[in-house]
Structure 1
C-alpha cells in the first residue's frame, strides 16, 4: 500500500475537524462527541486491529505517522490510545466500546483520562477495561486526570512509545511555527531569524525535532509489545527533546508564545505533559541503566548496537 493513501485522508480529517477553536472548546469543558464521532466514522480507530477481526491490520510502524499527526495537531482526545487499546482488546477477544479509551500505566496523571469513557490497564496479552473514574489535576484547561485502583505497569512500554510518537509530531509542528515566526518578526529593520544567535537556537530546535522523530521510530519498530530497551530509548529521547523544543520555541517567540490566543501553547503544553506521562526521561534512563548492568557479557558498544 502507498502510505500516502492512508496518511493524506487522516491528515485532512484532522485538519477539518480538529481546529484550534475545537481544541480550545474541549479544553474549556465543551462536549467531545462530535469530534470523537468523526474519528469513529473514519474507521481509523481500527487501523491496528487484525484484518480477521475487522481491522486494517497495520503494524505499529505503519501507523506511526498517523499517531504523529495526532501530536502535530494537538488532538485533545485519546485517539492514539484508543487505536492501541482496540487492537489489544480485539486480540484478547474482548469487544471494545465505542467511546474514547485512555491507557493508564500508574505514573502520575493519565493523558486524556478527563475526556475518556474507559480506561485500559492490565497487560498487552491480558488487557483490562474499566469505566473511566478520574480525578481532575486542577491544571488550567487540562484534559489529563488521575486514575486510581488500576494496575497498568505492563502497558508502560507501549504507552511510552505512543507518547514518543505524539511528541515527535508536536515537535515537528512547533519547529515549523518557530522558524516561520523568526522569519516574519522584524526587529531593528530585519527578521530576527537573520540574527546569528537566533539561527543557532533554530538549528538546535531542528536537531531535537529530528531526534524525537528517530526516537519514535525506534519505539514503533517492534509492534504492540515493544522490547523494553526500544521503549526506553524512544521515550527517553523524545522526552529529552520535548523539553528543549518547548524551551527554544518560547524563547524565540517571546511573550506572545504563552498568550492564550496564540496556538503555540496548545502544542507546548502537550509536549510537557507527554514528556512526563508514562515515565519521564529520568525514569527511562534508569531502565536503560538497569538493562545495561544486567547484560554484563556484552560491551557497551554491543549493547548500544543491539548485538
Structure 2
C-alpha cells in the first residue's frame, strides 16, 4: 500500500501550500493551483478523475494543519452526493472551487438515513416543498449550493434547494471546533428540485457516508500524527529535575503507545481507502471500522498531547487545545465510534459462517 510518486508529489504540494497560506485563505490556491476540490470529479465535468486515495492524501494534510477550508463538506460530501444522484450540472463549479456546496442531512444529532424526518411534498403544479430542520451542516451558512435530504411518500430523497430562496433560513452555529464551521438550516415550505430517483436518497446517503468516513479517517490520522510530532518535540525540550521529560521511562511509554495508535490508525484508514479505490463490495465494513478506530485513536493521542504538555497545553497560545477540540468534534461527525461499531457488528452478522 505504498503511495505512488504522484501521490507523494500531491502531498508535498498541499503541505507546502498550507505552510505558506494557513487559514481560510488557503482555499483559493488549494483549488485553483492544485485542483484539490476536483480530484474525485470525472474529467468530463472539470475534475481530475482521481479517486479515494488522492482524497486521502489531501485530507491527511488538511488534518495536520487543521485547515479551516470547506473540503470535507463540499469536495467530498456534496460532490459525492451529486455524482451518486447523476446531477452533474454543479460539478464544474465545485471542482474549480468557485462554488462551495453543503449537504444538509443530519437531524437531532443522527446521520442515519433512516432518521431523516424533514418532509418533501409535491404540489399540484409539480413543485416540491420542503419542511424541516437540519443540524451540523458543514459550511452551510456560506455555501453557494445546498443539497437537502427529505422524506417523500417513496422514502428518503435528495433535493437541490436555492440557498437564498423563500422558506430557507441558515443559522451559523458556534461549534466546539471553531476550525470547522457548521450551520443549522431551517426549511419552511422551501422549493426544491428532486435529484435522481424519488426514494433513492437512502442508497445515496449510505454511499456518501462511507466515502465521507474514509475522508474523515484520513484527516484524523494526519491530525493525530501532528499531535505526536508536537508532543515528542516538547518532550525533548522540556526540562524537569535537570533532564528532558522525554528521558523518563513513564513518558517514553506514553509516547510509544501514542505512536502505535497513530500507525494502527494509518493502516486501517489507508486500507479502507484502497478498498474504496478497488470498488470493494464490503466498503461499508471498511468505512465503519476506519471511522471508529481513527476517531478513538485521534481522541486518545490528542488527550496525551494535552497531558504531556502540562499547563501550556490548555492555553490559547498553544495549538494543543485546537487538536483536542477537532478530535472530539470529528468523532461525532457522520456517526460516533460506538454507532459505527454497531454498523460493523450488524454487517458481520450477515456474513455466513464457514463450516
Question: Smaller-chain TM-score range?
Answer: 0.7 to 0.9
Question: Is 2:188 aligned against 1:133?
Answer: no
Structure 2 residue aligned with 1:265: 321
2:217 counterpart (140, 159, 164) = 164
Q: 1:288 to 1:248 in 2, by over 3 A?
A: same
Distance 1:115 1:75 in 2: 17
Question: Is 2:171 aligned against 1:176?
Answer: no
Distance 2:335 2:12 in 1: 32
Structure 2 residue aligned with 1:28: none
Alpha-carbon deviations, 1:124-149, whole Å to 9, x = none?
xx864443824414647464434456
Q: 1:221 to 1:37 in 2, by over 3 A?
A: same
Alignment of 1:138-153 (within 5 A): 139=176, 141=178, 143-148=180-185, 153=205
Indicate conservation of the 8 Å contact 1:175/1:206, yes or no.
yes
2:88 counterpart (80, 87, 93) = 93
Question: Is 2:242 aligned against 1:242?
Answer: no
Structure 1 residue aligned with 2:44: 52
Indicate conservation of the 8 Å contact 1:36/1:100, yes or no.
no
Tell me by how many angstroms 1:287 deviates.
0.5
Indicate conservation of the 8 Å contact 2:73/2:139, yes or no.
no
Q: 1:120 to 1:209 in 2, by over 3 A?
A: farther
Tell me by how many angstroms 1:246 deviates.
1.3
Tell me by how many angstroms 1:269 deviates.
1.3
Which protein has the bigger helix share? 1
Question: Is 2:136 aligned against 1:109?
Answer: yes
Distance 1:244 1:166 in 2: 15
Larger radius of gyration: 2
Displaced runs of 4 or more, over 6 A: 149-152
Distance 2:65 2:211 in 1: 21
Question: Is 2:23 aligned against 1:37?
Answer: no
Structure 1 vs Structure 2 CA RMSD: 2.9
Q: Partner of 2:5: helix, strand, or coil?
A: coil
Distance 2:177 2:229 in 1: 26
Tell me by how many angstroms 1:116 deviates.
4.0
Structure 1 residue aligned with 2:353: 298
Tell me by how many angstroms 1:157 deviates.
1.8
Between Structure 1 and Structure 2, how many residues are aligned?
284
Question: Is 2:78 aligned against 1:75?
Answer: no
Q: Partner of 2:276: helix, strand, or coil?
A: coil
Structure 2 residue aligned with 1:29: none
Q: Mean Cα displacement is larger for which, 259-268 or 164-173?
A: 259-268
Indicate conservation of the 8 Å contact 1:161/1:220, yes or no.
yes
Q: Mean Cα displacement is larger for which, 166-175 or 83-92?
A: 83-92
Indicate conservation of the 8 Å contact 1:112/1:144, yes or no.
yes
TM-score by length of 1: 0.81
Alpha-carbon deviations, 1:19-65, whole Å to 9, x = none?
xxx4xxxxxxxxx5x44322232222111111232221112123311
Which protein has the bigger strand share? 2
Distance 2:16 2:159 in 1: 33
Tell me by how many angstroms 1:8 deviates.
1.7
